[in-house]
Structure 1
Amino acid sequence: MMRPGCGERAVDSWRAVSLAELAGVVRGHAGEVPPGRPCIVAVDGRSGGGKSTLARRLAGVVPGSAVVHVDDVAWNAPMFGWAELLAGGVLEPLRRGEAVSYRPPAWEAHRRSGSIVVPADRSMVIVEGVGAGRRELTDLIDCLIWVQSDFAEAERRGLARDLASGVNGDIDATIAFWHTWMAAENPFLQADRPWTRADLITAGSSPHVQAPNTVLIAAGSA
């Protein structure tokens, strides 16, 4: 039994679709996208819930697609205080059919090299991360996917990932950072409730055994 986080209603029934079918469902929800710009898909969900994995798998079956990670836009920015950066630096140029080469302010301040790059000829751009589908960005997104996950399993996976990368220090520092982060993420999601606006809900932590190269989506999704 999947037990999602506070405020979410657990999906009652799932159905398995192939990755190609998932891409078709996403495009169906996105509707007609004007020529000259990509279909913009937000993949939102809780930390450790499977967003990055879903974005990568979806991009793998959509020729000419690209993935943008919210973590890059939000790097060293105030927690969840980056909506204008994602909108102005990435989403608005994409909707104008322009290429993106964006260096958020913190990248300049901390001398991080490189930039967030998306060529102008992409067919689909998948923006993944906690808050990718936040309310302020609704008009800039064509399709919002909410990745529902078991709350405890997401925490277990998130901590294991962070420990393996060493990005937040040793085990004590990693656990402390996780709890600091969740103290911001949980109230943000409870206030924003992106799952209520989602065009499509997928399972990030599978409640059933599934075949390879398939994804579980909420039953009843087109």
Structure 2
Amino acid sequence: MTVTLTPHAGEPVAAPWTAASTDDLLRLLGATRGAPTGRPRIVAVDGRSAGGKTTLAARMNAAVPASAIVHTDDVAWNESFFGWAPLLVSGVLEPLRRGLAVSYQPPAWPAHGRDGAIEVPAGLDLVIVEGVGASQRALTGLLDAAVWVQSDAAEAERRGIARDIAQGVNGDEAASIEFWHGWMAQELPFLADDRPWERADVIVCGTPGLVTDAEASPTGHEVLLAVP
């Protein structure tokens, strides 16, 4: 299978890629550690912005009825871009590892008028922690498995800016482009230093449209994965 994918500098291209079902991916992740007792398995889905993390996490969530997703963007809301690991640990990961339900309101929420809380019920089989930095080094030992979603740098930028413009989250096109480059100015050195792909149990292709062999391309029900 040939993939014309160019990640950011310093990140090696995963190989070989294999088309697999979401169930295959979940079984592979389940085999990476011993089964937890009295608590859910905690799997991080990490990758670059607009790289396909949310789509993959949603597919995993849909395949496991007793599962939930925690988005690191909710923990990081109005915090520093990548300084939120202690909040995730104390508010989400430590309760989950004790088999407890989570009802966590990050400190920035009430300070900036955001209602509600991050809610995860007890008794689940799987909790997926999704976001840039979800498997960062500071979380080592609190995760049962990690996925790195590898994406083409140019394609991720194109669709990330297009998504933000369509959602109107940063204002107009110029503001969306400016925000993207401001975010990248922090994301790129953070990931270059942390190198989460080196700790991943499975690497999934987040830009499968770049598969050049049409006959080997994944269907809508498959992912492309590589095992380091």
Matches within 5 A, 1:69-218: 69-206=71-208, 207-208=210-211, 209-218=217-226
Can you give the 5+ residue segments of structure 1 that lack an aligned partner in the other structure? none
Q: Which runs of 4+ in 1 moved over 4 A?
A: none
Cα distance between partner residues in 2 of 1:19 and 1:5: 26
In the alignment, does 2:53 pair up with 1:45? no
Cα distance between partner residues in 1 of 2:158 and 2:201: 27
Three-state SS of the structure 1 residue aligned to 2:192 is: helix
* TM-score (normalised: structure 1): 0.96
Q: CA deviation at 1:212?
A: 2.0
Three-state SS of the structure 2 residue aligned to 1:140 is: coil
In the alignment, does 2:49 pair up with 1:13? no
Preserved CA contact (<8 Å) 1:19 1:215: yes
Can you give the 5+ residue segments of structure 2 that lack an aligned partner in the other structure? 212-216
- Which amino acid in 2 is paired with 1:88? S
Preserved CA contact (<8 Å) 1:49 1:148: yes
- Which amino acid in 2 is paired with 1:216? L
The two structures, once aligned, show a CA RMSD in angstroms of: 1.0
* TM-score (normalised: structure 2): 0.94
Cα distance between partner residues in 1 of 2:34 and 2:52: 25
Cα distance between partner residues in 2 of 1:162 and 1:30: 37
- Which amino acid in 2 is paired with 1:110? H
- Which amino acid in 2 is paired with 1:84? P
- Which amino acid in 1 is paired with 2:95? P
